[in-house]
Amino acid sequence: MALAERSQKKRRLLLASDIEDQSEELADILRNAGNVETISIFDLPDHPASDFSGVVVDIDLTSIEAVQRVRTKLTRKAYQALPRLFVLADSLHHGSAQAWALGATDTIQRPFDPDSILHRIRHAFPETPEDEHTSAAKILAKGVAAAQAVMVKMFQRLPAGTPLTFEDVMKAEAQILEALKRSSLKDWLAAVSKHHKRSYRHTLVVTGYAVAFAQYLGMRDEDQRRIARAALVHDVGKAFIPVIILEKSGELTDEENAIMAEHVRLGYDALKKQGGFPGEMLDVVLHHHEMLDGTGYPDGLLSDRISDIVRIITLVDTYAMLMEPHDDMPVMNPDQAFGVMELMDGKLDSALLQAFRPVAFGV
């Protein structure tokens, strides 16, 4: 047996099912990633054994009894520390929403693709609980490194004519999401704050806040990915702004502010010309400085023309800018920054702002 295979066998997985025969195929697949204990959901203990790496739940999501049993157990604190993967039936349209409402951290779907399932398990479930802290630190480092790799391509190679592709961004998103799931926003911010380039640092901070906010709101995995992608590229146009302006200490002159404001159009044009980027990402790049009252730029859009994803990125971008250190004034604390945003009457989405409060104050 290869070293990697021996390492994978360290995992201990709990497979909770309401029909054990139905779950046998899944159990056989999971045994390739670790030791599997299959149990009826009606026998789920109040406290899982300390050496479990994660829980896989395979139930009939239309069964009120099964759903209630799972909800009663998985909402307990003892289960919240474990990754929780739910199985969806391919014909169940509301199953995904039901699974996330029950506390899923990921989902898989029938018919099973063994390679895909094992990749999910090995990526999301730690090999042993004893390695949890070390594993989380490694995953955080990988997530930050993946995000920084996009920054290099965006700020250094793109202006030199090397394309930034949608695939480049997609390669980083999964590692960023996992890093923020397995560690914390505070850990992410501490890691990225060490970057000496202000433009890199700001984008990485915005990405952290955006993903943490999406996770706090309980968005489904694909929507979290959309938010991560949009946050990563929202300031791509700054790659075409002179460094002397980007890194300037103190306030910009009116002329310099006018040049800086061009970054939204420059970024949009670059990605549009490159091709392959979804329209909503281009929308974020172009419009993340628009305000609901029409006072933003470049198009002075009013609220009904500003999409939800733009509203989210605008909100976290504004908060990140307020929290950044400035040479000419003390650093704001969360209460001060949030207070400033509350005074931006009619400019930001007030409902989103209040929903963001626990994320902002939780760091």
Per domain, the residue ranges of the chain are: 12-125, 133-361
pTM across the whole model? 0.65
Contact 84, 112 (CB under 8 A): no
Q: What is the pLDDT of residues 231-243, one digit of tens each?
A: 999 999 999 999 8
Q: How far apart are CA 156 and CA 287, in angstroms?
A: 23
- Chain centroid to CA 112: how far? 25
pLDDT reported for residue 90: 60
Long-range contacts of 27-30 (CB under 8 A, 24+ apart): 29/112, 29/114, 29/117, 29/118, 30/56, 30/117, 30/121
pLDDT reported for residue 15: 93
pLDDT band at residue 139 under the 50/70/90 scheme: confident
Q: Percentage of the chain surpassing pLDDT 70? A: 90
CATH code for the domain defined by 12-125: 3.40.50.2300
Q: What is the pLDDT of residues 175-232, one digit of tens each?
A: 999 999 888 899 999 989 877 688 899 999 999 999 999 999 989 989 999 999 999 9
Q: What is the DSSP letter of 157?
A: I
Residue 2: is its pLDDT beyond 80? Answer: no
pLDDT reported for residue 327: 66
pLDDT reported for residue 128: 55
**Nearest to residue 183, comparing CAs of 124, 139, 125?**
139
Q: What is the pLDDT of residues 17-68, one digit of tens each?
A: 987 677 889 999 999 888 999 999 888 888 888 888 889 999 888 888 888 8
Q: How far apart are CA 241 and CA 243, in angstroms?
A: 6
Residue 131: is its pLDDT beyond 60? Answer: no
Given this chain, do its domains 12-125 and 133-361 carry the same CATH topology? Answer: no
For the beta sheet containing 35-40, the strands, ordered from the edge strand earlier in sequence to the opposite edge, are 35-40, 12-17, 54-58, 84-88, 106-109
CA distance to 35, 107, 133, 137, per residue, from 127 (Å): 11, 19, 11, 14
Q: State the CATH architecture for 133-361.
A: Orthogonal Bundle (1.10)
pLDDT band at residue 8 under the 50/70/90 scheme: very low
**Nearest to residue 126, comparing CAs of 171, 185, 172, 83?**
83
